Amino acid sequence: MKYRCCSLSLILCLLSVSCHRQDAPVEAKEERLILPSASGEALSVTLYRSRTDLSPALLLLPGKYRSAAVWEGFARRLQHEGFTLLVLDDRDLTGQPLEELYRRLDAAKDRLVESGAHPLNLAVAGESTAAGLALLYAAHCPDMQAAVLLSPPLAYLDQNLESVMAVLKDCPSLIAAAEGDRYGAQAATVLKKSAPVFAELRLWPGSAHGTDLFAGHPEAVMQIVQWLKTVLNAS
């Protein structure tokens, strides 16, 4: 009788563990992909897929000589908040003419939609030099509904970004920098004044540049998340 009770207890325990494992949510992870562009080049990208279909989505662009890893913590947080994200490698964004960069970003945008992103809830974010590319792509691509610019420059590939911002229509922007990052803060302020539509300027204490801001100001990540949810009408 004693052995029967032990056996019954063991079976019930195993069933409980099995049910718990079935009910537990599967942890979301990133996917390393090779993405062909329209020009035939193979792009190295990292995809953070939302658990839900038709999610809001974001293209993430690292600055020059900065790897895709600078966006990792931010991307994981937004993935948890229900976004689908695709991070490009800085090597695929360097040394190319602007039209080729647009083709590569178009390919990345299309992959976002193929991965479950809502085609009307797309945004682009860039940090450091790539904030300039993010702004240019937001002005170039009508599918972009918002732009996030961290520590932006005032010029990119001989393009005057103040002039680009001045003609950016129907695309809200969040422009952010550290107060002690003199060039980044100055550029952010100038771009804010040039914006013809809704643009929000946020300056944080310190001198960190680009995504390095998040180390000293983790609250900045959730502030950007809330801003994106508002402008993209994402719950």
The pLDDT of residue 78 is above 70? yes
Average pLDDT over residues 151-174: 96
- The structure's pTM equals 0.86
| Average predicted confidence (pLDDT) for the chain | 88
Q: In whole angstroms, how far apart are CA 181 and each of 150, 153, 212?
A: 11, 11, 11
At the top level of CATH, which class does the domain 27-231 belong to? alpha beta
Residue ranges per domain, the chain?
27-231
In which band, very low, low, confident or very high, does the pLDDT at 170 lie, cut at 50, 70 and 90?
confident
CA pair distance 59, 93, nearest whole angstrom:
13
CA pair distance 232, 149, nearest whole angstrom:
16
pLDDT for 95-138, tens place per residue?
A: 999 999 999 999 999 999 999 999 999 999 999 999 999 999 99
In which band, very low, low, confident or very high, does the pLDDT at 235 lie, cut at 50, 70 and 90?
low
The pLDDT of residue 8 is above 70? no
pLDDT for 15-53, tens place per residue?
A: 343 333 333 333 457 899 988 877 778 899 999 999 999
